[in-house]
Amino acid sequence: MAEATDDNASGDTVSVVKPEVSEAPETIPPPKPDVELIVDGFGFMPKETKLDSKSLSTDLKKSSKVLKDIKSPASEHSPCASSTNIDIVRRYTWRTKNRMTVQVITYGATITSIQVPDKRGVPDDVVAGFDTLEEYFQPRNPYFGATIGRYANYIQDGTMVVRPSGRMYMLSTNRGHNHYHGGYVGFDKVNWRSYVTGNKVIMSHVSERFHEGYPGTVMAQVSFEVTCDNTIKIEMKCTTSEPTIVNLSNTNYFNLAGHHSGPDLMYDHIITINADKYTAVDEEGLVTGEKNVVGGTPYDFRVPRSLRVMLPKIPMGGYDINFCVTQGTEQDLTFQARALHPLTGRVLEIYSNQPGMQFYTGNLLPDPDKIVEGKRSYGYVPLMGKHGTFYRKHGLFCMMPQNYPDAVNHKNFPNSVLNPGETYIHKIQYKFGILLGKYV
């Protein structure tokens, strides 16, 4: 007994084995992803505007080797890739850990919402749009957030000569006697097939030969991706069965104070545009083929300038002009423009690989102060958007990376002709951030 007592006193302990009690294992919730992608429905296409699901032409099949790079995968990736339910308009929603939310629908490959936080962390929607699919069908829709094609902007008189063949083609004239944004039924008015790979949504559309007058059958693909650093990445690709022209773009109408804020807060934006020249236009807004230097003109945004100061200097009631972006040699993406709203602190930077960028300040949106005199007088006809917002003149601005307008008819403009065996690639990045502190 004494030895046992001495052993215990020396610090040695006797281990007692307790019977094991079965307990339910602790359930650890999976970590929330940096970017979450949700898919749901946004509506149905009316029967009269169904997508035509004709097979590709023989000429297009000859260039199938190139098409494989941009062709949609097999239909098992998503039921929306099947022609049996293309009537469904799908909506894709990204949510990032930095409180950004982006929504895109397959009708027109359209961005319907971009919610980003301000310097106080309060998110707000900064792009124009509508609440319902039927509202996107209306003729007064000014292409809000849509993918534009086959050719963005004007083609004068709706005629073009495709070189080197020298063939002349007549396109539809949907804006006066000119062709505009792809015609009556451009890429913005069709329901795109879509599938998901990772956090990327890829949409595809086949534009048949001579649709709106364009030569060649074109297969187009647009991919959307949202990253955790609040960047929207868009990549557009096209191939063709015969020489044609291609110039795709995206028409987001921004107001960094919130899409509902109106002109007063839109004027506060401070704009920077990386361009030494712009394409001169005539009285109708059509390019003349000349490129003017921005220095000493109201088009000089090489240093940050306030729209409140610059807009009154424009005689046409606002900006609607293509800037010639200053690109570096062998540079993939080029910084094109920056928009800053000092009150909210939101900053938007736009990058692209295209040589031009159309800057538009919503001059043709409904103007409450304008009354038109004619056979009968009429005044302000409101355009109602999301959440009952009435969009007004100068309440939003648009920055469209693109090729130059009517480039096919001006030899000194960048090439816009796409030939069989080639792939048209247009990349856009919208980077959102916050300016902390005061802007001087």
- Tell me the C-alpha distance between 434 and 439, whole Å: 11
- Tell me the C-alpha distance between 109 and 51, whole Å: 14
Evaluate whether 208 touches 244 at the Cβ level (below 8 Å): no
Kindly give, in sequence order, each residue whose CB lies less than 8 Å from that of residue 125, ignoring residues fewer than 6 positions away: 113, 114, 115, 258, 259, 260, 386
369 is in an annotated binding site: no
- Tell me the C-alpha distance between 196 and 107, whole Å: 16
Beta-ladder partners of 323: 278, 357
> For residue 302, how many other CB atoms are within 10 A of its CB?
14
Beta-ladder partners of 127: 254
Kindly give, in sequence order, each residue whose CB lies less than 8 Å from that of residue 92, ignoring residues fewer than 6 positions away: 37, 38, 39, 103, 104, 105, 194, 196, 201, 224
Q: Which residues of 145-183 are buried (b: 16+ CB within 10 A; e: fewer)?
A: bbbbbbbbbbbbbbbbebeeeeeebebbbbeeebbbbbb
Reading the block at residue 128, the tokens are: 């124009």
67 φ, ψ (degrees, to nearest 5): -65, -25
- Tell me the C-alpha distance between 243 and 152, whole Å: 17
Q: Minimal CA–CA distance to 124: which of 341, 400, 384?
A: 341
Kindly give, in sequence order, each residue whose CB lies less than 8 Å from that of residue 59, ignoring residues fewer than 6 positions away: 216, 217, 241, 242, 420
Q: Is 148 helix (H, G, I), strand (E, B) or coil?
A: strand
Annotated binding site: 320
Annotated binding site for beta-D-galactose: 320
